[in-house]
């Protein structure tokens, strides 16, 4: 009997595979197999801001879509959204998403396209002020509202789909400072130097990380970073720690017997760690930089990372901020008008009125 029981137990994993596993899958599939076709369900286009909601805020488009534009690559891929802040082509964008303006162009709602000229880049706010070359007659955002006085639950709207559609949500937390945990590129390194004492061996690469996007692989040896020898793993940590999310570094690596060069754009450490822990799989994408802001207005308007840079308005049409980071499925940070607009006006004024040349005596 004992022998028979032991034999039966030893065969149980096989039985699970042969009998219980199909039953398990049938249990999971049961709701689908027996779905009531007469039960009403929402079509996909009505599962965020449905058409009836969007129709109700259609009259707000001049205050959102009307003062936004799409930022795209030279191949036409959407990179981000811009807020128009000057009728002569001045726009604000999320700086960490557009590190190389010469590789981008801007498309306005009237169909006009233009190259971008960088005017001022402000890492503290993660903003870049640029000017669309040769463009005039734009409709700039009216940036006079006070975001800090908005109560929790206040209705807000913003642009989605790269500045083509308006979405609705609410203020979901009070304005506050967001501290940062620094930058990361998403690799694990051996603590001891690589063979021959040259560089540091990479022993892990996080999925959906800057390192993976740059093509780094487990087994590569990091020889230098930002022009400095990768003498040990601690030195690599220190170099990255001094940088901001969104900055691009040049790496020299050895793969098998070949030396190669690549560029990696750093992300917020919190984003990389969330990915590594498997917590970001359901978020649908978050911003490269999502922390270290002097003050943010938090809302829950359903947006994508490429919608960052667009304006946020009240239902009265008052612009109260610019979206600056998608943090997770229900959290987006916006920079309040009070935080960036006084400085932005100074940057525009200095660009419009450059110092006049004085003849040397």
Tokens (6 digits) for 150: 């908005």
CATH of 46-179+292-351, one of 2.40.10.120, 2.130.10.10, 2.40.50.140, 3.30.420.40: 2.40.10.120
pLDDT of residue 165: 86
pLDDT of residue 202: 95
pLDDT of residue 24: 45
Same topology between domain 46-179+292-351 and domain 183-274: no
Q: Please check whether residue 287 is in contact with residue 208, taking contact to mean a CB–CB distance below 8 angstroms.
A: no
CATH architecture of 183-274: Roll (2.30)
pLDDT of residue 29: 52
d(CA 208, CA 257): 27
Q: What are 189's strand-pairing partners?
A: 202
- For the chain, the distance separating the N- and C-terminal CA atoms, rounded to the nearest angstrom, is 113
pLDDT of residue 9: 40
CA 28 to chain centre: 34
E strand or H helix that includes residue 268: strand 267-268
Q: Ramachandran region of residue 358, left (φ > 0), alpha (ψ -120 to 50) or beta?
A: beta
Q: Please count the other Cβ atoms lying within 10 Å of the Cβ belonging to residue 4.
A: 8
Strand, helix or coil for residue 215: coil
Q: Per-residue pLDDT tens, the chain, 361 aa: give them.
A: 333 343 444 444 443 333 344 444 444 455 555 556 677 777 776 666 777 777 888 888 887 889 999 999 999 999 999 999 999 999 999 999 998 999 999 999 999 999 999 999 999 999 999 999 999 999 999 987 788 899 999 999 999 987 788 999 999 999 999 998 899 999 999 987 776 668 899 999 988 889 999 999 999 999 999 999 988 889 999 999 889 898 899 999 999 889 999 999 999 998 888 777 666 555 668 899 999 999 999 999 999 999 999 999 999 889 999 999 999 888 999 999 999 999 999 999 999 998 887 777 7
d(CA 311, CA 141): 8
Strand, helix or coil for residue 305: helix
Report in angstroms the alpha-carbon separations of 131 from 84, 323, 336, 357.
9, 19, 22, 23
Q: Please count the other Cβ atoms lying within 10 Å of the Cβ belonging to residue 249.
A: 21
What are the structural domain ranges in the chain? 46-179+292-351, 183-274
16: DSSP letter: I
Tokens (6 digits) for 302: 């359903």
Q: What are 178's strand-pairing partners?
A: 293
**CA-based torsion, 323, 325, 327, 328: positive or negative:** positive
Q: Which of 268, 327, 272 is nearest to 297 (CA)?
A: 327
- Outline where the chain has alpha helix (H): 2-10, 12-15, 21-33, 51-56, 210-213, 233-241, 269-276, 337-352
Q: Which of 307, 357, 239, 232 is nearest to 68 (CA)?
A: 307
Q: Please check whether residue 175 is in contact with residue 154, taking contact to mean a CB–CB distance below 8 angstroms.
A: no
Its pTM stands at 0.81
220: DSSP letter: -
């Amino acid at each position: 009997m004992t022998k028979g029981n032991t034999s039966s137990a030893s065969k149980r994993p096989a039985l699970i595979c042969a009998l219980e596993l199909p039953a398990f899958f049938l249990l999971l599939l049961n709701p689908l197999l027996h779905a009531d076709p007469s039960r009403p369900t929402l079509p996909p286009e009505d599962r965020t801001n449905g058409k009836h909601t969007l129709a109700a805020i259609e009259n707000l488009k001049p205050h959102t879509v009307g003062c936004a534009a799409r930022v795209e690559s030279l191949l036409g891929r959407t990179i981000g959204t811009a807020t128009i802040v000057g009728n002569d082509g001045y726009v604000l964008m999320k700086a960490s998403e557009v590190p190389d303006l010469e590789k981008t162009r801007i498309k306005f709602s009237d169909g006009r396209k233009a190259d971008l000229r960088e005017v001022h880049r402000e890492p503290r706010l993660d903003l870049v002020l640029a000017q669309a070359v040769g463009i005039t007659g734009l409709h700039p955002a009216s940036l006079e509202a006070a975001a800090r006085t908005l109560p929790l639950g206040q209705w807000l709207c913003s642009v989605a789909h790269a500045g083509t559609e308006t979405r609705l949500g609410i203020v979901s937390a009070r304005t506050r400072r967001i501290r940062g945990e620094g930058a990361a590129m998403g690799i694990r390194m051996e603590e001891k130097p690589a063979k021959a004492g040259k560089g540091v061996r990479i022993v892990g690469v996080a999925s959906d990380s800057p390192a993976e996007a740059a093509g780094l692989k487990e087994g590569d040896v990091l020889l230098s970073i930002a022009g400095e020898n990768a003498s040990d793993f601690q030195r690599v940590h220190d170099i990255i720690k001094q940088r901001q999310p969104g900055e691009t570094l040049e790496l020299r690596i050895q793969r098998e017997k070949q030396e190669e060069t690549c560029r990696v754009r750093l992300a917020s450490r919190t984003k990389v760690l969330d990915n590594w822990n498997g917590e970001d799989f359901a978020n649908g994408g978050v911003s490269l930089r999502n922390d270290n802001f002097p003050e943010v207005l938090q809302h829950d308007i359903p947006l994508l990372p490429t919608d960052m840079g667009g304006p946020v308005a009240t239902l009265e049409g008052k612009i109260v901020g610019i979206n600056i980071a998608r943090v997770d499925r229900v959290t987006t940070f916006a920079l309040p008008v009070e935080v960036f607009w006084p400085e932005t006006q100074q940057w525009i004024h200095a660009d419009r009125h450059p110092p006049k040349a004085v003849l040397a005596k």
